Chain A
Amino acid sequence: NAGVIQTPRHKVTGKGQEATLWCEPISGHSAVFWYRQTIVQGLEFLTYFRNQAPIDDSGMPKERFSAQMPNQSHSTLKIQSTQPQDSAVYLCASSALYEQYFGPGTRLTVL
């Protein structure tokens, strides 16, 4: 069991560019969650899917952020027109029941 895989581990973008972050959940887990982690805000929920369907995106900034789960083996988080305040570690987690298993995160740096 490789755990939750996130790619890339590090991404640097220029202001205004697009960033796409990938997550491969643990096989057999039905739910995928996205969180953002910063020093100031801590761990913030963004959005989650269950059985590939979007369930709750209440934590997602309404502009520029979108998430998809086209199949059970991966989910993507896309940030359009990145801004310096988007710099953070983006964490993906998957779950079968209550326990969430986190990936190592993608550190996004927007210059």
Chain B
Amino acid sequence: GDSVTQTEGPVTLSEGTSLTVNCSYETKQYPTLFWYVQYPGEGPQLLFKVPKANEKGSSRGFEATYNKEATSFHLQKASVQESDSAVYYCALSEDSGTYQRFGTGTKLQVVP
């Protein structure tokens, strides 16, 4: 069946350093890929989505490229801030409007 695998956390970084959270997926179909962020006490919020291969999504300084050949969708940010501390989830959806399958989440802590 479908699966999403992402970097295990927690990940601790110093402010101003770069972030990469790896995400790989397995699916029989051609999915739409998502990155979500979740803060304590809240539900996940969509960071961005990318429906097409070889396209890039970005928001708030975060970006990820849909690599269909490598079945990967790694999240990157050049310079993290303390306010980026949260849990990040990679997710996929096979068809428009169906449920999304989430990775296990990566907890990021950014220290001053």
Q: A residues within 8 Å of B by Cβ?
A: 4, 30-31, 33, 35, 42-43, 45, 48, 50, 55-56, 59, 91, 93, 95, 97-105
- Chosen A-B contacts, 6 in total, with CB atoms closer than 8 Å, are A42-B105, A50-B97, A91-B43, A95-B97, A98-B97, A102-B45
Q: Interface of chain A, helix or strand or loop or mixed? A: strand
Contact yes or no, B99 A43, CB < 8 A: no
> Which residue on A lies nearest to B95, using beta carbons?
A98
**Closest CB in chain A relative to B53 CB, distance in Å:** 16
Q: A86 to B103: give the CA distance in the assembly, Å.
A: 21
| Given A42-B105, A98-B32: A31 in contact with B43 (beta carbons within 8 A) | no
Contact across chains for B97 and A97 when beta carbons are under 8 A apart? yes
At the interface, yes or no: B111 with Cβ under 8 Å from chain A? no
Bound CA span A55–B44, Å: 22
Known contacts A43-B89, A98-B93, A102-B44, A56 near B98 by CB under 8 Å: yes
Given A42-B104, A98-B49, 4 additional A-B pairs, CB 8 A? A43-B89, A102-B42, A102-B45, A105-B43
The residue of chain B having its C-beta at the shortest distance from the C-beta of A99 within the complex is B46
Q: Of B41, B49, B96, which one neighbours A104 at CB under 8 angstroms?
A: B41
Q: Which residues of B contact A95 (CB under 8 A)?
A: 97
Provide the bound-state CA to CA distance between A97 and B49, in Å.
Answer: 12
The number of chain B residues touching the other chain, given as a range, is 20 to 34
| In contact, A4 and B43 (Cβ under 8 angstroms) | yes
B100 at the interface (CB under 8 A from A): yes
Q: Closest CB-CB distance, A31 to chain B, in whole Å?
A: 6
Measured in the bound complex, the distance between the Cα atoms of B98 and A105 in whole Å is 20
Q: Is the CB of B102 closer than 8 A to any CB of chain A?
A: yes
| Minimum C-beta distance from B14 to chain A (A) | 26
Question: CB-CB < 8 A to B100: which residues of A?
Answer: 33, 45, 100
Q: Is B101 an interface residue (CB 8 A)?
A: yes
Cβ–Cβ contact B101 & A31, under 8 A: no
